[in-house]
Amino acid sequence: MALLNFRRKTATAPRSGDLEPFLKGYSIEVMPRTARSVEDFRALLPRGTRVYIAHIDGTPIDDMVATARRLADDGYAVMPHFPARIIRDRATLADWVARYRGEAGVDQALLLAGGVAAPVGDYHCSMQLLESGAFDGFKRLHVAGHPEGNRDIDPDGGMKNVEDALRWKQRFSETTDAQMALTTQFCFEAAPVIAWADAMRAAGVTLPIHIGVAGPAKLQTLIKFAIACGVGPSLRVLQKRAMDVTKLLLPYEPTDFVADLAAHKAANPGFNIEQVHFFPLGGIKANATWAMDNAGASGVPAAMAG
């Protein structure tokens, strides 16, 4: 970013010419609980949008599969989370995969360690899930990326273990028929993200990056989620803005953050951030509305298309 200069939307605000192609094919994340509040996804999301289903510890697999089936029936590409640390054993993993495939036709998955501190069973990282063979035949497998590091992986605040894991996943990607990509945690500052992506490529990690973007939300909401999710240096951007009490209750949008990345991508077509992945922290409707306003034809909901 130029920093996350979230701003209040106006009806006449110009859209960057780089923004629409950068947002094309964006994905978004839901949970079963939040999905239940959406009457019709087709009124909010473009046809074929990839919708991740976040699996929070304690969520019954029945709810996860039901949400996947609903989204698939509506014509969306469904990508459920598989958090290693909440999967008890190989039989549980096999059951989840079989149910997703059999009941919802799922052939995409996001594999990650998961947010719990200690594993409940046999798995503690996404690499073990990749090695398990349970996802053989899947068309697409995504793994987590951490532009600002991850203290669960590197307690000292560095990047060594994160980078070693990414190099392992890069090597794995060269042995599988599945398309692989990195889906990152949300960030708020473009310059460090660009530097991280360039450093990954220089280190031989060429997996395409789907950059995490926090959707429109109140500043207080963004700060709460950023702290809970371990967002690092760019959190200071939000904290600095929180010092201005006149802005605390205003709606904020990720326009400048995304526009800065889009402009860099337009100037550097080989840049390895390929897509945007939204975390709808202020609600799916607010996020979808922002996408419609900024993504042009790429953001037209299924109910309005064609």
Q: In this structure, what is the dihedral angle of CA atoms 236, 237, 239, 242, given to the nearest 10 degrees?
A: 170
Q: Compute CA distances 278 → 14, 45, 141, 306, whole Å.
A: 21, 12, 18, 24
pTM of the predicted model as reported, rounded to 2 decimal places: 0.88
**231 or 101, higher pLDDT:** 101
Domains and CATH numbers, the chain: 19-299 (3.20.20.220)
If one counts every other C-beta atom within 10 angstroms of the C-beta of residue 210, the result is 23
Residue (of 245, 157, 158, 171) closest to 207 by Cα position: 171
Residue (of 141, 147, 137, 118) closest to 129 by Cα position: 141
pLDDT band at 14 (very low <50, low <70, confident <90, very high): very low
Can you tell me the mean pLDDT for 41-70? Answer: 97
Query: Which residue matches tokens 């939300």?
Result: 217
Cα 43–Cα 20–Cα 110 angle in degrees, nearest 5: 65
pLDDT band at 297 (very low <50, low <70, confident <90, very high): confident
DSSP string, 115-181: S-SS-SSS--SHHHHHHTSTTTT-SEEEEEE-TT--TTT-TTS-SHHHHHHHHHHHHHHTT-SSEEE
Can you tell me the mean pLDDT for 49-61? Answer: 97
Per-residue model confidence as pLDDT tens digits over 155-188: 555 567 778 889 999 999 999 999 999 999 888 8
Determine phi and psi for 215, rounding to 5 degrees. Answer: -70, 175
Instruction: Name, of 72-86, 136-150, 183-197, 245-259, the range with top average pLDDT.
Output: 72-86
Q: Is 57 exposed, middle or buried (0-12, 13-18, 19+ CB in 10 A)?
A: exposed
Cβ pair 110, 80 in contact under 8 A: yes
